[in-house]
Structure 1
């Protein structure tokens, strides 16, 4: 992510918490990239509970964030649906 993108993402946070999930696709994509890079390690499998716990550190609606991360290809679900991996 470029420095401009990182600074833009920081504007979405107050006191370490996400103020709101952006509706604009480009802003949301910047946010998802940031969350993927800062909350999830490459090559490590996470249970749904672990994903939710990590996302809840920044916003209460962890289900919406998880869904966006999966739908936009930042996280992938295992075939059995039991775990998630950082995809990009």
Structure 2
């Protein structure tokens, strides 16, 4: 049985770091932490910084954790990312969000098979299944969003033009 990587932890750490770097107080606090200075006393800085689990209070960095973050970011930017990321178990409940996710999936499918191709429903279902469990919902949402055009009999689909 293949092993699956934990992508959520290192990606969560990277997201948290970059979110913190966008706030001047937290950016300064991270700088202080990296130099081993005590964290600022204000709760609005100390609280978020306490969640940075790869930076110890003495300024020491958990090198293995930082390396894992860097390797995961490199993987997610590579053509191998699709092999590491599972399918979507659920699509957002709100119609606008659901259609946006479905439209993106349909667009990716046609980028890969060729934007001018026409796919049978079975071919489209197989391609969508690489990304999401509920292929019928994705297919319907993409049509409703105007990203896919369905033949009158529902047997063929193509990417909408324009």
Give the alignment's TM-score, normalised by structure 2: 0.41
1:72 has 2:142 as partner? no
Write out per-residue CA displacement over residues 8-32 of structure 1, whole angstroms, 9 at most, x where no aligned residue: xxxxxx8232142012344334313
Distance in 1, Cα, partners of 2:99 & 2:137: 14
Runs (4+) of structure 1 exceeding 6 A deviation are none
What residue in structure 1 maps to residue 123 of structure 2?
A: 50
Match of 2:132 among 59, 65, 73: 59
SS in 1 for 2:158: strand
Answer yes or no: is 1:86 the counterpart of 2:159: yes
CA distance in 1, matches of 2:139, 2:116: 18
Instruction: Tell me which of the two structures has the higher relative contact order, counting C-alpha pairs closer than 8 angstroms and 6 or more residues apart.
Output: 1
**Does residue 23 of the first structure (1) align with residue 93 of the second (2)?**
yes
| Among 16, 33, 43, the residue aligned to 2:103 | 33
Aligned length: 75
Over the aligned positions, Cα root-mean-square deviation in angstroms equals 2.0
What TM-score comes out, normalization by structure 1 length? 0.69
Q: CA deviation at 1:68?
A: 0.8
Q: Which has the higher helix share?
A: 2
Greater C-alpha radius of gyration: 2
Structure 2: gaps of 5 or more residues = 1-83
Are the structure 2 counterparts of residues 65 and 33 from structure 1 closer, same or farther at C-alpha, using a change threshold of 3 Å?
A: closer
Any conservation in 1 of the 2:87–2:133 contact (CA below 8 Å)?
A: no
Query: Which structure shows the bigger proportion of residues in strand conformation?
Result: 1
